[in-house]
Structure 1
């Protein structure tokens, strides 16, 4: 007779934690204007990164505790050597039902086939413009050709769905939203429009634009209707074409926050477990992992940490509160 599984992770606000965003590196080959500052060098040293064995152990415990969705993030996760090997180890762990990846796609054409074979099911790809000069200005690199090659490789490898994440910035790329929507709908991608968040100085200077007016504009242009079924377990609210052949998501952490249904935590590459993107509550797991803690002790620490998960962020009320940049937290 199999032993009963431990009870799931439920916080003090009765939210069940079912989604882990796992950063495998804080480094990136781009310097997007809302994320990593130009000239930034304060990255974690590799000896502080969790090893693949440590990552596998933590994810196995999360799987036992009912966390079935895991997303590999960064920085840029494809900069971590042998990422497909790690993905293969995680995808077969008990309880892990969905393994996905967030990437800027600059390296994706070389890795798409191996990642798909390893069990990565879904991709989120950052792309803020279809104009080469705008992409260069926002990302700090002439990266659009590499991203397009990555998109082609992802489709050829069989990934579905492929979601394109576009951070909407007033006066930067807000005039390109309809063109991006048309591109995604034509190619079979899901467009997700995201409000810029005030993470560090870069995020606070990201030309925030609320998405309510943008949504109304796209509803009128494409005849979108609300989509009833959830997609991916994340924070996006989706609208679809009337025939169901395409959809667009809206992620609104500032104008319409989704904290009441937050089901996720973030594990940074240095082993810090962040309970909220916009607050400082956290658990340092690396000292426990390297100090000989048993699985029972680690599970107890995870349960104690979940009790610290705050009710909501305060991006609107205290936009200067969070000093760390997104790449340190994990996307």
Structure 2
């Protein structure tokens, strides 16, 4: 069992397979040139898998594959199969912008992927283009349709930004209700790589918009294994809000992150990290395990988004860690 310095059980590993992305979303990496880390700097799928095995053997129960945009890395289905074949009851999921799903969804499902989170910030073509800086909506919707057809369990992620897609909050919810998807609204996490003018809606503002149509919104008791606070409408539909600006977001944090270059990151907000690359490439599993336990020991109690006295802008590049 993996326990951090504050007694929290860590059983969720997020693995970024690339920092590359084919979108340039305003809340993530709008000014970053289209470039990529040299292949030799990245851990191979086999090396990433070596560490995942360490994590699973030590108590990891959930593995999520992220990016950047993970579907940009070739043969991702091969990597998914490695993990699934090792432990086929692991909660194996993936987060994607959905643009490459039309041609990849079936391969991922066949490889053992069980669940998928897809970003959908609006159902308006022009606003989707404004956010991603690319004409993406029709292809993303095609990808969502394909993922549903092949039997993947789908959640939708939506980041509402003031003055851009805040007017789409209710429409995205209605779309997800109709399709049978869970939607999770994510409060914008202030970071130095986002467009400086970006301002997000907080949970109260999101709830206020939804309450204009649905009057009886009930707060669901929080599941300590989920980063989201869920709410139930009077018709039984549940949606979530991820609220990093609230203290209880960190109170039950069970997550740790591994980047494609081998950096093990204890907290999304902070830059602190230790590399397991050399240990894994040398097949020194004991050393990799030692680094894992040290990173957990140094995992901070909470991020700084909720602390008004601190600088609330993170220096973390989310495209390297998958959010």
Q: Give the structure 2 partner of residue 51 of structure 1.
A: 44
Tell me: CA distance 1:319–1:328, structure 2 relative to 1, closer, same or farther (3 Å). farther
Paired with 2:115 and 2:271, the residues of 1 have a C-alpha distance of 29
Determine which of 171, 178, 182 is the counterpart of 2:170: 178
Paired with 2:196 and 2:260, the residues of 1 have a C-alpha distance of 24
Q: Give the structure 2 partner of residue 226 of structure 1.
A: 219
Determine which of 13, 22, 25 is the counterpart of 1:20: 13
Contact 1:211 1:255 in 2 (8 A): no
Residues 144-165 of structure 1: CA deviation (Å, up to 9, x unaligned): 01001001101100112x1111
Q: Give the structure 1 partner of residue 227 of structure 2.
A: 235
Contact 1:195 1:208 in 2 (8 A): yes
Query: Which SS does the other structure have where 1:168 is aligned?
Result: coil
Q: Give the structure 1 partner of residue 272 of structure 2.
A: 281
Q: Give the structure 1 partner of residue 193 of structure 2.
A: 201
Paired with 1:68 and 1:45, the residues of 2 have a C-alpha distance of 31
Q: Give the structure 2 partner of residue 119 of structure 1.
A: 112
Paired with 1:14 and 1:250, the residues of 2 have a C-alpha distance of 25
Tell me: CA distance 1:203–1:69, structure 2 relative to 1, closer, same or farther (3 Å). farther
Paired with 1:125 and 1:203, the residues of 2 have a C-alpha distance of 22
Residues 250-309 of structure 1: CA deviation (Å, up to 9, x unaligned): 00112455111100011111110110011122111112222x252222212211111010
Paired with 1:93 and 1:227, the residues of 2 have a C-alpha distance of 35
Tell me: CA distance 1:58–1:105, structure 2 relative to 1, closer, same or farther (3 Å). same
Say whether residues 1:189 and 2:184 are aligned partners: no
Structure 1 unaligned regions, length at least 5: 1-7
Q: Give the structure 2 partner of residue 134 of structure 1.
A: 127
Paired with 2:61 and 2:52, the residues of 1 have a C-alpha distance of 9
Determine which of 283, 303, 307 is the counterpart of 1:313: 303
Q: Give the structure 2 partner of residue 77 of structure 1.
A: 70
Contact 2:187 2:201 in 1 (8 A): yes
Paired with 2:212 and 2:9, the residues of 1 have a C-alpha distance of 36
Say whether residues 1:149 and 2:142 are aligned partners: yes
Contact 2:156 2:184 in 1 (8 A): yes
Tell me: CA distance 1:324–1:42, structure 2 relative to 1, closer, same or farther (3 Å). farther
Q: TM-score, normalised by structure 1?
A: 0.91
Determine which of 253, 278, 286 is the counterpart of 1:296: 286
Query: Deviation above 6 Å: which 4+ runs of structure 1?
Result: none
Paired with 2:98 and 2:208, the residues of 1 have a C-alpha distance of 29
Shift of residue 228, structure 1, vs aligned partner? 4.1
Say whether residues 1:250 and 2:271 are aligned partners: no
Tell me: CA distance 1:183–1:95, structure 2 relative to 1, closer, same or farther (3 Å). closer
Paired with 1:206 and 1:228, the residues of 2 have a C-alpha distance of 31
Contact 1:75 1:328 in 2 (8 A): yes
Q: TM-score, normalised by structure 2?
A: 0.93
Paired with 2:85 and 2:234, the residues of 1 have a C-alpha distance of 37
| C-alpha RMSD over aligned residues | 2.0
Paired with 1:201 and 1:257, the residues of 2 have a C-alpha distance of 25
Q: Give the structure 2 partner of residue 269 of structure 1.
A: 260
Q: Give the structure 2 partner of residue 322 of structure 1.
A: 314
Residues 184-240 of structure 1: CA deviation (Å, up to 9, x unaligned): 111111111111011223165421221113224424623433334749x33011112
Contact 2:187 2:203 in 1 (8 A): yes
Structure 2 unaligned regions, length at least 5: none
Contact 2:279 2:285 in 1 (8 A): no
